[in-house]
Amino acid sequence: MDIGANTATMQFPDPPMPTRASASQPLSFHRYLPITAFYFFFNCAGLPSGMYFTGIFSPLLYFWLYARGQRWVTTKFFLVLSPFILAHELLGIASVYYYLRSLALLWTVYIAVYAICLALSHTHNLERLFRELIVLNFFATIIALVVFPTPLRPLFWRSDPIAVIGVSHLYRLNLLSIEPSEYALLMLPLLIYASLRLMRSGNLTNAVYLFCVVVPLLFTQSFGGISMGLAGIGVAFAGNYRRFLKRPTALIFLLLLIAVIGSLALIHNPISERILQVVNGSDSSTRSRTIFSFIAAYVVASSKSLLWGVGLGQIKLYDFTGLGLGFTANIIPNDIAGTFAELGIIAVALKIAVEIYLFFRMKVYLNSFRLAMFVIAFITQFTGSFLTDVQEYIMWFLAFYPLFPHLDLFNDPVVKGTASRSRGA
């Protein structure tokens, strides 16, 4: 079979236009849309801070995995953690209760992520699921705008008066998520997908999909979410510039992207104010999630073992108020820093080593979507998130698993032609 001939005619699929025959058919949606929408919108709705329905339903997900033949999932979990559990036992565990509770919480996250990733890997027509979720999210944003002047505003909007200096009331869209930054993180895979659609095929349909993602993202006014999204798009574009520059729509998209970035940075708005605060070093949120988190993590880990950390859940025994970092709770809002504090330098080194190995092993650099998701996930772990953050693990799965093989550059005729000319020279 001539692979090059087949891929040369491969086009980015657009949703079929309705015809008279299809218009008479009943409205249908992807079979996983209800579950995906529940995770996207209601995963923490009505629950205490730190609790998610993915954790509550993890025992059911475990039985689902067991029925699907995944009978060694828990064994794998404890095999990976066994060196750390043994080291912590030898070093001494200050609070067995907190240790076991955090271990159980980490297991629920592991089971939930395992089940979600297994379902995604067997999902047909994943692009349809992404498109439907984009539309559903946009309509949810419209509902949030409609209820903004009503007493229901706190359900969908967060009043954050300290996010920008000099602003008394800053309302940021978070729908039913814990905070706007978490909601923005949920939308980043949709943003990358919609952006690549428009860069490959610049029609009105793809422009509307991107618009439906950008508007809710801007309403979150999440500096971290927007900046990571732009970084992912920028890396995907830079890595594939030979292909994209041959498409006028990609150039137009790039110019519009530059215009949006310029307007966000230069025109007075809450996002530009946040950028100014970050540059000046006066943004407390950014410092808490980065520099201050690593300072706190070092203080915690050094009290027991820099190599192995203090153990799962033991951070709750430490008081950060005396460090002068502005932490009001004994929580480290940074994945790498939190891993360093609880599991030590060894766990951090293993985590980064596995990420780099899978980057080359799975040829992430040959796929626009996966490359962008890798950049976003890699930045996220150093600027926020937690060891038990389900969304971060799902982003890693989106980076390593070939869910969108038609975006693979290995069989792209432009890249193949360039490589052939290089070998011939």
Output the CA torsion sign for 290, 292, 295, 299. Answer: negative
| Cβ(241)–Cβ(296) below 8 Å | no
Answer whether residue 17 shows pLDDT above 60.
no
pTM for this model (two decimals): 0.85
Higher pLDDT: 402 or 357? It is 357
Phi, psi of 172 (to 5 degrees): -120, 135
Give every CB contact of residue 40 below 8 A, 6+ residues apart in sequence: 133, 137, 186
- Report the C-alpha gap between 313 and 67 in whole angstroms: 31
Which DSSP helix (H) or strand (E) runs through 302?
A: helix 291-302
| Cβ(121)–Cβ(401) below 8 Å | yes
pLDDT digits (tens, 9 = 90+) for 191-224: 999 988 887 777 788 888 988 999 999 888 887 8
Mean pLDDT of the chain: 82
pLDDT digits (tens, 9 = 90+) for 310-327: 999 999 998 887 777 767
What is the reported pLDDT for 14?
47
Phi, psi of 173 (to 5 degrees): -75, 125
- Report the C-alpha gap between 206 and 195 in whole angstroms: 8
Helix intervals (H) in 122-269: 126-146, 153-156, 180-200, 204-220, 223-239, 241-244, 248-266
DSSP state at residue 328: S
| Cβ(406)–Cβ(263) below 8 Å | no
- Report the C-alpha gap between 196 and 210 in whole angstroms: 9
- Residue 230's pLDDT band (cuts 50, 70, 90): confident
- Residue 39's pLDDT band (cuts 50, 70, 90): very high
DSSP state at residue 15: P
pLDDT digits (tens, 9 = 90+) for 389-398: 999 999 999 9
What is the reported pLDDT for 207?
85
One-character DSSP codes across 358-390:
HHHHTTGGGBHHHHHHHHHHHHHHHHS--TT-H
